[in-house]
Amino acid sequence: MSITPPPAAAPRVAVVGGGPAGLMAAEALSQAGIGVDLYDAMPSVGRKFLLAGRGGLNLTHSEPLEAFLSRFGAQRAALEPLLRGFGPDALREWAAGLGIATFVGTSGRVFPVDMKAAPLLRAWLHRLREAGVRFHMRHRWLGWAEGDDAQALRFAAPQGEVQVRADAVLLALGGASWRRLGSDGAWLPWLAARGVGVAPLVPSNCGFDLAPTPAALAAVPPATGWSDHFRERHAGQPIKPVVASFTGADCRTERRQGEFVVTASGIEGSLVYAFSALLRDEIARAGSATLHLDLLPDRAPERVLADVAHPRGSRSLASHLKSRLNLGGVKAALLHEVLDREAIKDPARVAATLKALPLVLAAPRPIDEAISTAGGVRFEALDARLMLQSLPGVFCAGEMLDWEAPTGGYLLTACMASGRATGQGVRDWLASGGNS
């Protein structure tokens, strides 16, 4: 696609943040013939985008749009117009326009054929530069200049503090995870001070610390989380396949199959991330949350009980479970974490625990370790163009908005869709003469 650079007299927009949302907003603006100055605190743009693609860039998901939209939970209504305007199919077409072919993996996730983020980002930046987008690196936003002018911005730059005034401002500053890549959430109190409705930033798609297991409490001295014995032997090991389930205060139960990883302090991984919002909110409400694991998802409870209760003669329980159920390693060790010496002798307790092993979670891991964050600018603070109602001429996009989604391409698609929609919103606002 060829984009003609804007004329010198064209309005100029300051886009603050060089992640996918900010870059997509810059593209939408430049396509409309609007001048764009993009500012980012880091030496180069797309740092988190590149890191996320290190193990294979998951662009989007191939499931039907209705199922895709359902992944956004309570904020589906706010995000649906954006995703219908630029959804998974449109994203794949956009990538193809950059010369990046994609394919659908066995899980339904969509990846570039070469699995890499860097070629896509290079092609994208080339297109933006050809369109006249000007990039200002190592410019960390410091908020607004003194006064009521919402389009007058302050930046910490290599040459010292600079002030910039634009015809409109588009903020795409990200959440507060992975601070070293540029998103630190420093903007939230600045927007709150200007009367913008914001929700606290909290971790999403995150791991959790475990409350002390029975085995940990029985140790001398007591351990936190896992017992020292379990932690030393199994931290870093995957647990698969399992079915996890969680029942919330509303008595609704969510179930998913997948895998996760034992950490030194608890659990993390794709299956845990799928439950992270539910678990985080339950911990905030009740002080802890219990995730149940079916360690033998392919076996009926009656079959498990029959196998556990089968006479084992002189064999140890470990040998018996390995022989009858092919259960060993970290899964077998979990039994000894949650059952005491008397309970482990009871076939009915063992069988029931294999089908619903409780893990009591005490806290989400720190926000900086999370893949993404929830919270941020409330949608009620925005108009239909994603402009702040209390700050006409200032627009917001991407992860700094108050929404969350699981991993699997949903996060990236929504960030890019919101960036595109916000860029179009700026275009419409400028075309109306800047009338709020």
Q: What is the pLDDT of residues 214-239, one digit of tens each?
A: 999 988 788 889 999 999 999 999 99
Q: Does the structure show a pLDDT above 90 at 54?
A: no
Q: What is the mean pLDDT of residues 291-295?
A: 98
Closest CA to 242 of 262, 226, 264, 260: 260
Q: What is the mean pLDDT of residues 411-422?
A: 97
Closest CA to 8 of 134, 152, 125: 134
Q: Looking at residue 4, what is its pLDDT?
A: 54
Q: What is the mean pLDDT of residues 380-403?
A: 97
State the pairing for strand pair 35-39/198-204: unpaired
Q: What is the mean pLDDT of residues 22-35?
A: 97
Q: Looking at residue 7, what is its pLDDT?
A: 59
Q: Torsion-angle region of residue 269: left (phi > 0), alpha (psi -120 to 50) or beta?
A: left
Backbone phi, psi, residue 362, to 5°: -100, -30
Q: What is the mean pLDDT of residues 88-105?
A: 97
Q: Looking at residue 182, what is its pLDDT?
A: 81
With vertex at residue 219, the alpha carbon angle to CA 355 and CA 293, rounded to the nearest 5 degrees, is 15
Q: What is the mean pLDDT of residues 190-212?
A: 96
Kindly report the pTM of this predicted structure.
Answer: 0.91
Q: What is the mean pLDDT of residues 106-120?
A: 94
Q: Looking at residue 2, what is its pLDDT?
A: 47
Torsion on CA atoms 312, 317, 318, 322, rounded to nearest 10: 40
Q: 176-185: per-residue pLDDT in tens?
A: 988 888 888 9
Q: Looking at residue 131, what is its pLDDT?
A: 96
Q: What is the mean pLDDT of residues 102-114?
A: 95
Q: Looking at residue 6, what is its pLDDT?
A: 58
- What is the pLDDT confidence band of residue 1, given thresholds at 50, 70 and 90? very low
Rounded to whole angstroms, the maximal C-alpha distance in the chain is 89
Q: What is the mean pLDDT of residues 394-400?
A: 97
% of the chain with per-residue pLDDT over 90: 86
- What is the pLDDT confidence band of residue 5, given thresholds at 50, 70 and 90? low
Q: Does the structure show a pLDDT above 60 at 279?
A: yes
Q: Looking at residue 436, what is its pLDDT?
A: 62
Q: Where do the structural domains in the chain lie, given as residue ranges?
A: 12-203+369-431, 208-364
Mean pLDDT across the chain: 93
Q: What is the mean pLDDT of residues 245-264?
A: 95
Q: Looking at residue 146, what is its pLDDT?
A: 85
Q: 328-374: per-residue pLDDT in tens?
A: 999 999 999 999 989 999 999 999 999 999 999 999 999 999 999 99
Q: How far is CA 127 from CA 34, 116, 130, 332, in A?
A: 15, 18, 5, 54
Q: Does the structure show a pLDDT above 90 at 271?
A: yes
Closest CA to 433 of 25, 13, 11: 11
Contact status, residue 154 vs residue 161, Cβ threshold 8 Å: yes
Q: How far is CA 72 from CA 65, 113, 207, 374, 413, in A?
A: 12, 27, 20, 11, 11
In one-letter notation, the amino acid at residue 171 is L
Contact status, residue 127 vs residue 100, Cβ threshold 8 Å: no
Contact status, residue 338 vs residue 358, Cβ threshold 8 Å: yes
3-state secondary structure of 210: strand
Q: Within 227-375, where are the H helices? A: 228-234, 270-286, 301-309, 317-325, 329-338, 347-355
Which class is 12-203+369-431 in CATH?
alpha beta
Contact status, residue 213 vs residue 339, Cβ threshold 8 Å: no
